Amino acid sequence: MRKAARTHVEPVSFQTQITRDLLIAEARAWARRIGVDNRLREIHVRPMKRKWASISTRGRLSLNSDLLAQPASFRREVIVHELVHLKLGHGAHNKLFRALMRAYLEGE
């Protein structure tokens, strides 16, 4: 998910910033819920200049370390976005992709 897609996200205060372990735990919990936990091989939290996150077809999820300071709702959207790509096995943002995104995020 490109950073430009969300330019007006306000970071949370330093006191409410989460840890890397909590971000990874959130991603693993969503992977179980979406049904891709068996395909999610690695999760990395690292600085990224142009994206909030990315996922490879081999199951490597990279999350931007800037997400640690973002609101829970935004982190959830970024994680679900990448895991839906893994579920579908392609990068297209077609009708099915958008429908799954809505279903997972509205079910929260």
Q: How far is CA 3 from CA 8, 52, 63, 70, 96, in A?
A: 10, 5, 12, 12, 23
pLDDT by residue for the chain (108 residues), tens digit each? 766 555 556 655 555 789 999 999 999 999 999 999 999 999 999 999 999 999 999 999 999 999 999 999 999 999 999 999 999 998 899 999 999 999 999 977
Q: Tell me how far apart the alpha carbons of residues 41 and 82 are, in angstroms, rounded to a whole number.
A: 13
Query: What topology does CATH give the domain 3-106?
Result: Zincin-like (3.30.2010)
Q: Tell me how far apart the alpha carbons of residues 95 and 38 are, in angstroms, rounded to a whole number.
A: 25
Which ranges of the chain does DSSP label H, i.e. alpha helix?
A: 20-34, 72-88, 95-106
5: its two tokens = 């897609």
Query: For the chain, what are the domain ranges?
Result: 3-106
